[in-house]
Amino acid sequence: MNLEHTTRLLNRYLGGDRSVESDLLEHVYDELRDVAAAHMHAQSPHHTLQPTALLHEAWLRIANRDDLSFDGRNQFYALASKVMRSVLVDHARREKSEKRGGGAGRVTLDPALDADESDTSSPVDLLDLEAALKRLEGIEPELSRLVEMRFFGGLSHPEIAQATGSSLRTVERNWRAARAWLQANLRS
């Protein structure tokens, strides 16, 4: 199956043609599972949500919307990653409210923030990360999307460059800026 076929299936499904659901899921499931696994990789080992459950919850949120269309697969996977982030944040909020402020989802930023350095800073609260990303989005939306693709989507710099149509050098420069901004703002 080619990329255009996936886009057509996505748009048919989201346009109300539920007869293509099994074909669509078969075609995108493995990649969505990889995105979910990348999201879960940064979570605490004691996290109660599993990648498959994250994928399914995100799929339900996407499938229940009728206002979506896609120009390509990259848009779909970017949306799926964003929805998975939302599911994790909602899950952390529920956990925090159930525990009255204790132990809501903590994530380790180092694997995504600097995969090639061995700095091992302590985990940050997922809700703090979400708040920081929202602030960054208000200041520099491009940097916020970059962090989302790298941290939540698990994409490498070359993959981000391809998905955004940017040069690898631009992605690397923006990554350094985003990482420095997050490190400064998550410590404060």
Range of the domain at 97: 3-187
What's the total number of domains in the chain?
1
User: What pLDDT is attached to residue 173?
Assistant: 95
Task: State how far the Cα of 124 lies from the Cα of 72, in Å rounded to an integer.
Answer: 34
User: What pLDDT is attached to residue 172?
Assistant: 94
User: What pLDDT is attached to residue 11?
Assistant: 82
User: What pLDDT is attached to residue 64?
Assistant: 76
Q: HEC string of 29-94?
A: HHHHHHHHHHHHHCECCCCCCCHHHHHHHHHHHHHCCCCCCCCCHHHHHHHHHHHHHHHHHHHHHH
Place of tokens 């985990």: 123
User: What pLDDT is attached to residue 176?
Assistant: 92
What pLDDT, in 10s, does the model give residues 164-183?
888 999 999 999 999 889 88
User: What pLDDT is attached to residue 117?
Assistant: 44
User: What pLDDT is attached to residue 105?
Assistant: 55
Question: How does pLDDT run along the chain (188 residues), one tens digit per residue?
Answer: 566 788 888 888 877 888 998 898 888 888 888 888 877 776 766 677 788 888 989 988 887 777 777 777 777 888 888 888 888 888 877 777 666 545 555 555 554 444 444 444 556 677 788 888 889 999 999 998 888 888 777 778 888 888 788 899 999 999 999 988 988 888 65
Measured in residues, the chain has a length of 188
User: What pLDDT is attached to residue 99?
Assistant: 61
